[in-house]
A and B are shown apart, each in its own frame.
Chain A
Amino acid sequence: AQSVTQLGSHVSVSEGALVLLRCNYSSSVPPYLFWYVQYPNQGLQLLLKYTSAATLVKGINGFEAEFKKSETSFHLTKPSAHMSDAAEYFCAVTPRGTGKLIFGQGTTLQVKP
């Protein structure tokens, strides 16, 4: 069965530092891949989505993610963290043709001043 693993349930960075949130998926066929952000007491907001058009995907708020088939990874990065980036981040996959989002466990990003 398809699964998603986010390495690190909690990541802490200083303001202005690089943000790297890790995501690995298990699938023999590359699925659609997503990163969502959840701010406290709010819903899920789409950051970016990989659909096989390009391996480097740019999203909102300065985030981007690179799809690496050989590593089955889709890590999320941002060059310079901002205090407003503090939130819960979820990596998710949709096995093609299923319409079902399968989520990772989530990573809490803390940004220190």
Chain B
Amino acid sequence: DTAVSQTPKYLVTQMGNDKSIKCEQNLGHDTMYWYKQDSKKFLKIMFSYNNKELIINETVPNRFSPKSPDKAHLNLHINSLELGDSAVYFCASSQGKGEGPRGYTFGSGTRLTVV
């Protein structure tokens, strides 16, 4: 029973397209995140939602729009995809700000390739 699940696992698309990545967690956490891992494996936070409210919005192009229909789901929509958007996108969740003993739980990632 996967705790944080993302779909799709792989996504190959052409430049200029619009795509979405979905994330769901069944841990009962109230906070969810999107992280981006670039080709050099560097991980950086993009967004965070707490109970459907946006609380962290890093310097990310406005082509990226997160949506949280409820506290168990956080989707990432990307408009007008560019080559530089190719990366692995990780969803994560936590209770509160991750200060509990288990911290943050990550999904297995979505590898996005823009061609």
Contacts and interface: CB of A to CB of B under 8 A. Distances in A.
A105 B111 CA distance: 19
A99 B103 contact: no
26 contacts: A34-B104, A36-B106, A38-B41, A41-B111, A42-B108, A42-B109, A43-B108, A46-B105, A49-B102, A90-B43, A94-B97, A94-B98, A96-B99, A97-B97, A99-B31, A99-B48, A99-B50, A99-B55, A99-B96, A99-B98, A100-B56, A101-B43, A101-B92, A103-B43, A105-B40, A105-B41
B94 interface: yes
A43 B101 CA distance: 19
Query: Chain B at the A interface: mostly helix, strand, loop or mixed?
Result: strand
Interface string B31-58: 1010100001111110010100001100
